[in-house]
Structure 1
């Protein structure tokens, strides 16, 4: 699935193998869409140009619904869960210990509720889509976060039991949160992945493509 500001494109893997288009019908450009079962989840900034206000939206994925209507997911019990994180992003999760439908939300943990409050660490939260309860899944160690402190933003990607973090000023390496294997029981393991290709602006992005002609007329 590919989401834009005005529409969404969805590739159907059924016998037709075709792309379908439907209006995103959201108040703002969706961020980090994640497909969980038969639902699509995305974050939207519904605040003002001066202050962000993130909210979580969900819609039935085609072909489970003839018309895609987005609804805001919120609970009074969630309190300030979206206000404590700076630049939150969704990441696919493998589910909790019971194989539940879950999703991760990652962002910088604000030190206060002021407008330009610095972050004290990077926090990983998990939302159980059955009970609609949040829990803390991981928290970057202070000595590792020091490398991200000078960066105005960071990139997060991955899914399942592994989530990677990169930023411009940390050199040619990635921070990895690994919850696979034995580390799953202790809330995950944090470590560095070193010696990655990059330059002064950060790591290279994309993939290696070796173009060639296999046949000539």
Structure 2
């Protein structure tokens, strides 16, 4: 049989044809035939589209705790494409590790905890991986205590931190972790790494009443003999930390931080909440503003749950709670407002709350 006419086209012509497709369609075309896969995985094609295609912004789910020990062949990352309103599945079985558990992301990469094939479960390692190119890098090995109790923070330059209540590890362009005392007044809540600094909420109140404060640590201080956190506060902020119940932080767009929690109906000890409020802090001006609040009809699904989970980054924030069965999504608009909608069809999470992160998928990111 004669070869199809497409086989006779020059490589440059094929590159130009495929480069006109969206990133999502390029990934689908890889599985059509060997020729397409060879063309679309070549270094020359990846270099070409790296200057033309923006990353694909996806919402990735972390597997529930009871699903950490899935079989190697079933290891996968479930992601949601908000633009196409569709769930996708990225196969992770190419990684030669056991008990894979995705926890964080940086542009183009995801970070997972995993066990080396021949190592005991007490020796956990962090793996940086690009699921689109199937390239990965193993960071220096850590113990299971860090994977169980530490929050993994990554910035746009692939600086990595594992933060716990008592200590932290920092890794950047070296072959070892830098360990230091966290020196925080309480367990850090929803810490984030951005603009060369780490931000976290800490409860400085009493056992009977919470009092939340925002703490900051500049990464440049890690090279000095003393590392310290300082509390960010201004008299003009007033009671901004008192109006939210169970606040948590999300990295916003540019130099902005989002603080999210239930909006208290009063300042009494066990006050009920009327909705979920999103506040935005400009780190240059150190001024808060309201970014959005959940519509009342949507909040009714969350009002029966004492706790809800929040994850996201930039202009996308997701909300999940037990027995809700779907995600609520807030997307910030360029004009300053926000759009709220539901995400249905969650893949295999049961009735528990979801955790996750935003994954900026791209073909040119290297671990």
Q: Same fold (TM over 0.5)?
A: yes
Aligned match of 1:196: 346
Give the Cα separation in 2 of the matches to 1:204 and 1:5: 23
**Shift in Å, 1:64:** 6.0
Q: TM-score, normalised by structure 2?
A: 0.51
Aligned match of 1:119: 273
Aligned match of 1:84: 243
Q: Which of 247, 252, 256 in structure 2 is aligned with 1:93?
A: 252
Bigger helix share: 2
- Determine helix, strand or coil for the equivalent of 1:103: strand
Contact in 1 for aligned 2:221/2:228 (Cα 8 Å):
no
Q: Which of 323, 328, 333 in structure 2 is aligned with 1:175?
A: 328
**Shift in Å, 1:17:** 4.1
Contact in 2 for aligned 1:10/1:62 (Cα 8 Å):
no
Q: Which of 285, 288, 297 in structure 2 is aligned with 1:143?
A: 297
Give the Cα separation in 1 of the matches to 2:204 and 2:312: 26
Bigger Cα Rg? 2
- Determine helix, strand or coil for the equivalent of 1:145: helix
Q: Which runs of 5+ in 1 are unaligned?
A: 96-100, 207-217
Aligned match of 2:27: none
What are the residue-to-residue correspondences of 1:58-73 with 2, within 5 Å? 58-62=216-220, 65-66=223-224, 67-73=226-232
Over residues 98-143 of structure 1, what are the superposed CA-to-partner deviations in whole Å (9 max), with x where a residue is unaligned? xxx1111010000000000011010110101111100011110111
Over residues 147-203 of structure 1, what are the superposed CA-to-partner deviations in whole Å (9 max), with x where a residue is unaligned? 0000001000011110000000212x1000012xxx332511100000112455325
- Determine helix, strand or coil for the equivalent of 2:302: coil
Give the Cα separation in 1 of the matches to 2:288 and 2:164: 28
Q: RCO greater where, 1 or 2, for CA within 8 Å and sep 6 or more? A: 2
Q: TM-score, normalised by structure 1?
A: 0.85
Paired positions, count: 196
Q: Which runs of 5+ in 2 are unaligned?
A: 1-160, 357-367
- Aligned-CA RMSD value: 1.8
Aligned match of 1:3: 163
Quick check: 1:30 aligned with 2:188?
A: yes
